Structure 1
Amino acid sequence: MERAKFKTIAKALLLTAFGAALLALATLALGLYNVAANRQHLQPVFSLLEFAVHRSVRRHASDVQVPVLDDPVLLQRGATCFRDKCLQCHGGPGMAQGDLGQGMQPLPGPLIDASKRWNAGELYWITRNGLKMTGMPAWEHHLSEDDLWAVVGFMHKLPQLSPREFAEWMLLDEREKTRCEPPMPKPLLPADAERGRRALYAYACVGCHAIPGTVQSNPQVGPPLSGMARRTRIAGVLDNTPQNMEYWLRETQSIKPGTAMPSMGVGEQDARDMAAYLQTLH
């Protein structure tokens, strides 16, 4: 008797799950779910995504080692990078987000309370790696390790700043004309093809080129890069060697002025890693 009851309940649950899956599929297939950026997700979708983000970040950032974050020089550097990289989307005490931040969904909220919702290691992980489908970019290839931690340090100071004090931090950098520049060159490491694959996303290569091993929407803007290792020439102007590929990735417009491929500001280490990955595409 109990077994028959259990089977009935199990069947009911399976049918309910199957029906829910069909309903979700039909909603997507018929275009009923509004993906417009001026419409927020439905609350269940928003809550599910927010739950997934919190659980994922806490798991992946659990072993991050946090340095000292209250050094005055580091905090000033963090203010510079915050102004140049974060302010436009997140705003600050007494300062509104820019048009870019205000027009996004999910809305990139203020970071005044970020250090209360996330610990320092988690804030570093988010800043370095970004968050999928939120508009939060990964700064791994565009900020040095020191600058990543400087931003985290400044976020920890934000709750202590009044609107006037925050404005003074921002204006100080304006007066001194300081900028959050790309990472300074360091001794090159051996080429890392996996890191190069990630860099293809960071420098937007996958937006124009179909590249094996990357997840994308099959762009048709630039030539596909499948079989790159077998090709003899790069853009018709250079022999296809790893060294020439690094050169091409860093100095595109200098090598072939007027080409549709822009110079993307690729760093030397990133170019080495990207070239290594492209050499795996046989």
Structure 2
Amino acid sequence: MMHVDWKHVAVTLAILPFAVVFAAWIGFFNVGASSGHWKITDWFLHFAMQSAIRTYALAVDVPRELPHHAVQTAAGHFARGCAICHGAPGEPRSPAVLRMLPQPPDLAERVSGWSDAELFRIVKHGVRFTGMPAWPSQKRDDEVWAMVAFLRRLPALGPEAYRDLAYGPAGSLVDRPATFQQALAECTRCHGVDGRGRSTATPVIAGQRESYLLQSFAAYAEDRRPGGVMGVVAKAIDRRHWRDLAAHFASLPASRGRAGAATALLEPGKKLATEGDASRRIPACLVCHASRDRNPAFPSLAGQPAPYIEQQLRLFRDGQRGDSGYGHVMREVARPLSDNDIAALATYFATAESRPAHPMASARD
């Protein structure tokens, strides 16, 4: 029977950390990227990564359905922030990226190996020691889930379908938009040439006040309004183009409202928007968001997509929505709203006409 000398084991364990530090100090470990890890090291690192992701994904609350309505917005972000390393349909990874260690995978080939919860964990928090960054805003889980929905669709996308989703009429993007036309193309990729959005996850910016659009740009660029998608875009566009972009979209025809509202939600939403609910200290939305002489920092909500309105109200209610100066007001307003209130308001505003002449005008329609 083998005898274990615990004294020797203890001494070895005590010396081991110093030996490792000494090996690092003399430069024993080769950190060059011209060759890969030992096979055992490579296996262990991947094993540790997969195990950690699997374990931490257990705490992820997966929605009943992925937000497929937001796939276009996620595709636009993928084109700017992800495709450079992972490639995209019709856009192979560059030779430089293929020399990275570890090499970023072709996601179209790999996403099927991860669950929705695991993909969420990877996208939101990134992976250390790989160059995979965390999502730009840790307060926007809705954007992360949109990216998961896009990744689920990615394997089936051909080059043409991907280009339409990611670029729209712009056709491509540049790393740092230098001219006004390049900056405008950066916006129209998601907001469309008419400013009315290419998906129901994207707000209508056509006809909004120029000052509101400028304040929004600044809030995103300065991280006062969390947004993984818009934060990246606002930082990429040179500030000297902001005013011209705001003026351009402010000059476009405003939305005229959308058809197809659920009748059961429309009337409660209209009542809450026009009258509020004094018993719950909820003011009428139209007092601030519909008058022609309203504060320039308050946007028009009429004609906005219902999914977008719902998400913004949830963010306000949960204290996750940043602002350009008046967010604290909306956080207080949204706090008592129920899920049904939010759905009703979103339904009403999606069908409302833009900019009535008086704050209570819609109440008389």
1:66 counterpart = 2:62: yes
1:152 counterpart = 2:163: no
1:126 counterpart = 2:122: yes
Mapped to 2, the partners of 1:99 and 1:184 lie a distance apart of 37
Report the residue type matching 2:4 in the other structure: K
Report the residue type matching 1:131 in the other structure: V
Gaps of 5+ in 1: 187-266, 270-282
Mapped to 1, the partners of 2:135 and 2:119 lie a distance apart of 12
1:178 corresponds to which residue? 189
- Cα–Cα, structure 1 residues 22 and 42, in superposed 2: closer, same or farther, change >3 Å? farther
Mapped to 2, the partners of 1:17 and 1:87 lie a distance apart of 45
Gaps of 5+ in 2: 172-184, 191-201, 203-216, 227-320, 324-365
Shift of 1:22: 7.5
- Cα–Cα, structure 1 residues 12 and 185, in superposed 2: closer, same or farther, change >3 Å? closer
Among 84, 98, 121, the alignment partner of 2:80 is: 84
Mapped to 2, the partners of 1:21 and 1:43 lie a distance apart of 23
Mapped to 1, the partners of 2:42 and 2:139 lie a distance apart of 30
Mapped to 2, the partners of 1:62 and 1:112 lie a distance apart of 24
2:90 corresponds to which residue? 94
1:117 corresponds to which residue? 113
Write out aligned runs for 1:248-263 (5 A).
none
Mapped to 1, the partners of 2:97 and 2:10 lie a distance apart of 42
- Cα–Cα, structure 1 residues 89 and 23, in superposed 2: closer, same or farther, change >3 Å? same
Mapped to 2, the partners of 1:168 and 1:146 lie a distance apart of 22
Report the residue type matching 2:111 in the other structure: S
Secondary structure of the 1:58 match is helix
1:137 counterpart = 2:133: yes
Mapped to 2, the partners of 1:172 and 1:162 lie a distance apart of 15
Secondary structure of the 1:158 match is helix
Secondary structure of the 2:66 match is coil
1:206 corresponds to which residue? none
TM-score (norm 2): 0.42
- Cα–Cα, structure 1 residues 142 and 165, in superposed 2: closer, same or farther, change >3 Å? same
- C-alpha contact 2:67 2:146 (8 A) present in aligned 1: no
Mapped to 2, the partners of 1:125 and 1:27 lie a distance apart of 34
Write out aligned runs for 1:1-282 (5 A).
2=1, 5-7=2-4, 25=21, 27-67=23-63, 68-69=65-66, 71=68, 73-98=69-94, 101-141=97-137, 144-172=140-168, 174-175=170-171, 177-178=188-189, 185=225
TM-score (norm 1): 0.53
- C-alpha contact 2:116 2:148 (8 A) present in aligned 1: yes
Identical counterparts, % of pairs? 27
RMSD of equivalent CA atoms? 3.6
Mapped to 1, the partners of 2:85 and 2:106 lie a distance apart of 8
Mapped to 2, the partners of 1:172 and 1:61 lie a distance apart of 34
1:237 corresponds to which residue? none
